[in-house]
Amino acid sequence: MADGIGSSPDSEGQHNNFYTAQGASAGAASGDGGLKEQDRLLPIANVGRIMKHILPPNAKISKEAKETMQECVSEFISFVTGEASDKCHKEKRKTVNGDDICWALSTLGFDDYVEPMRRYLQKYREMEGDRAASGSHNSRANSVDARDEVRGEQQRYQSSGAGQLMFNAVERNNASTSRRL
């Protein structure tokens, strides 16, 4: 099953992005700008690596499980990004930033992700400011420090019990408004 990304004008003539289950490869073959499946999904090796990181060392992951997770995380990213993009479009901005992603997560009912994302975003911005101030000669050391800080944040998040997430289903219509089901 392959989903395609599309765009349709709403009643005000603005275009809203949406997903269809029509098949992206057919769109790409016809030359209308559709995405190939490999272009819309996260690399399966990266997905598998993330899954292995959280599981016990002796755990095995089937190909089917990796492919299923690949579809899910890719859809999740597209869903959140689409909501953030709609917000930017309404505000006549062309760039989606981290604050827009946090807003979208909150709007879509993923409130448990918002605060960790804001903390990560703040640390990222601080490190980018430090990197710009110190020049690029320490960029490798800064990236190692950044990874260590992110790992520490992930461990604190998981040990706090917040790793057990509860999801609220949200229905999304063409006007990019949502309501809880």
- Over residues 97-120, the pLDDT tens digits come to 999 999 999 999 999 999 999 999
What pLDDT, on a 0 to 100 scale, did the predictor assign at position 157? 59
Q: Domain limits of the chain?
A: 41-180
Report residues of the chain scoring pLDDT below 70: 1-33, 136-147, 149-151, 153-181
CA distances 36 to 20, 67, 133, 139, Å, are 13, 16, 41, 34
Domain 41-180 has CATH 1.10.20.10: yes
CA distances 154 to 11, 69, 158, Å, are 43, 19, 6
Residues 6+ apart with CB under 8 A from 88: 94, 95, 96, 100
Statement: the pTM of the whole predicted model exceeds 0.75: no
What CA–CA distance (Å, rounded) separates 6 from 33?
9
